[in-house]
Amino acid sequence: MKYVLICAITCLCFTSTAQKKKPKIVVGIVVDQMCYDYLYRFQHNYSSKGFNKIMSKGSNCRNVEYNYIPTFTGPGHASIYTGTTPNNHGIVANAWYDRSLKTIVNCVSDSNTKCVGSAGSIYGLCSPHRLNTYTITDQLKMTYPKSKVISISIKDRGAILPGGHKSDGSYWFDYLSGGFITSDYFESSLPSWLQEFNKVKNGYSYAKIWNPVLENESYSNSDNSKYEVVLPGKENAQFPYDIKSLIIKNSNFSLFTVSPFANTLLTDLALEAMDKEDMGNGEHTDMLCISYSSTDIAGHAFGPYSKEIEDMYIRLDMEIERLIKALDKNYGKNGYVLFLTADHGVVTVPQQLVDEKLPGGYLLLDSVLIRLKERSMSAFQADLIENVSNLNVYLNYNRIDSIQGLEKQEVVQVLTEELNKIPGIKKVVTGGGTLAHDDDKWVKLINMGYDSHRSGDLIIVLEPGYLPRSSVDPAMHQGTSHGSGYSYDTHVPLLWYGSGIKKQEIYRPVLITDIAATLVHMLNLQRIGAMTGNPIVELLQN
């Protein structure tokens, strides 16, 4: 009898533990271009029910980094959901030079698809066909076909890469109509609920005047900065922003996505998808992937120390609060798991760094290209540069082969020596097999982001605080970007909240690829494809 009782208790405990590890729904939130310090720098203006609730009652991984170069949106989303790096999943940038096509290709563009949801729109010709491995969402669908995966974003890549190859719906914003679309890779028509949603809730109906949501004295940053891009149709980079007027002036919805109202629209789409797709109520766990893009679009224009970005995150906190409230209501705290992270950070506007006597500056790419071509002509009597993209230099193999006795390595050596003379360039790394044998940190980061079919023959690493620019860009010293292996681009937030998630702060190093590896165990799945990440054990221990 005693033995039977012990077995019964053991089985009960095991069942209870298994249930905790299988939530009704997993909600993955990626905030595009969210620096780690935004959690703390703007914290005093956050409510107690958004970011602060997750931070105070969930698990906060405080030492999370990307372990590759380049840190862009496409590679970031792919790495989060595949649990591996670009050298395995193949998304080496948002766009790269395709040697066979002799042109730049978008990481999710697909000319073999058709737009679904907006007649004649070019923004729907997309699919995950360039993603070389599968995602945690793909594995969920393969293991439990009745599980539902929905993935949404303003950006096409922000919706497509998280949802993977087998999503039940991947939807992104259409700059032509102001609604959400997909491609026939996923489905032949939009679900009726999304068609109705687009009629009422869209870029035009949500556009209004963007003013600071709080009183001016509540903000840390000034609204009078010379480092911000002036939006088309505006005379200055200051509040207010009449978003509806800017849409009309520019005849498209691109400037709607600069505003926080695009985040609100996306949250409403997430809530609608949960309701209309009956998510979290099936036999197996469902997964909803949300990527907030406007933080990045505005971040490029205004920079991390702008009043606009501060206001953007105060408003985003309200969106997170709305999501948590809906999740608690629909599933209860023990019915869901939520994680929140970012696809990359951002560098301070380099001109601001220079003005404040900090290291930083610009590498003028057009001047670099001219210099490389001139050096190639003087050394080999031929222009052997085919393309320069994302600080990758692609050589013209056909021309090299046509010169008798010339080896590619000789060209690489000459051009590397020339590049190393240019101020602002820290290092030039040669693409190919030599990468794996170098112990230099920056070479290792490039190696993890390198694909022999998609990356260049030489990869340029800039000094800290530097950005590539064109000398003909009228806003060269305004706005900012990302892509480096420095901590301002690689160090991002990672918060977990919900079923079985303890209140804790984790300070040990965690890699972005560890997120999917952790979900494997929360959902009792097989490790996926080319996964290299490791589970965050602290989240799995009760």
Residue 476 resides in a domain: no
- 336 in the same domain as 238: yes
Q: Residue 9: pLDDT above 60?
A: no
The domain that holds 423 is classified in CATH as 3.30.1360.150
Average pLDDT over the chain, rounded to an integer: 94
Q: Residue 219: pLDDT above 50?
A: yes
Per-residue pLDDT band for 432 (boundaries 50, 70, 90) equals: low
Helix axis angle, 136-143 to 514-522, nearest 10°: 20
28 DSSP β-pair partners: 289, 339
**Quick check: is 73 catalytic?**
yes
Domain span at residue 465? 355-469
Per-residue pLDDT band for 449 (boundaries 50, 70, 90) equals: very high
Residue 13 resides in a domain: no
- 381 in the same domain as 343: no
Instruction: Give the pLDDT of residue 21.
Output: 57
- DSSP labels, 188-224: SS--HHHHHHHHHSSHHHH--EE--SS-GGG-SS-S-
Q: Residue 32: pLDDT above 80?
A: yes
Instruction: Give the pLDDT of residue 474.
Output: 81
Residue 1 resides in a domain: no
Look at the pTM and tell me if it is higher than 0.75. Answer: yes
pLDDT digits 0-9 by tens, 114-145: 999 999 899 999 999 999 999 999 999 999 99
Q: Residue 523: pLDDT above 80?
A: yes
Residue 475 resides in a domain: no
As a whole number of angstroms, the distance between CA 72 and CA 78 comes to 10
- 327 in the same domain as 220: yes
* Candidate list 71, 73, 133, 341, residue with the active-site label: 73
- 439 in the same domain as 390: yes
Number of helices and strands (H, E) in the chain?
Answer: 21, 23
- 58 in the same domain as 196: yes
Instruction: Give the pLDDT of residue 437.
Output: 55
- 175 in the same domain as 118: yes
- 305 in the same domain as 200: yes
Q: Which residue has the tokens 């405990």?
A: 13
Number of compact structural domains in the chain: 2
pLDDT digits 0-9 by tens, 141-167: 999 999 999 999 999 999 999 999 999
pLDDT digits 0-9 by tens, 481-515: 999 999 999 999 999 999 999 999 999 999 999 99
Residue 14 resides in a domain: no
- 46 in the same domain as 149: yes
- 533 in the same domain as 386: no
Residue 12 resides in a domain: no
Q: How many CB atoms lie within 10 A of CB 122?
A: 12
Residue 376 resides in a domain: yes
Per-residue pLDDT band for 19 (boundaries 50, 70, 90) equals: very low
Question: Which of the listed residues 422, 439, 469 is the one where a domain comes to its end?
Answer: 469
Q: How many CB atoms lie within 10 A of CB 419?
A: 18
In this structure, are residues 484 and 350 in contact, taking their beta carbons and an 8 Å threshold?
no
pLDDT digits 0-9 by tens, 456-475: 999 999 999 999 999 888 88
Beta-carbon contacts of 262 under 8 Å, excluding residues fewer than 6 positions away, are 154, 173, 203, 206, 256, 293, 294
95 DSSP β-pair partners: 106
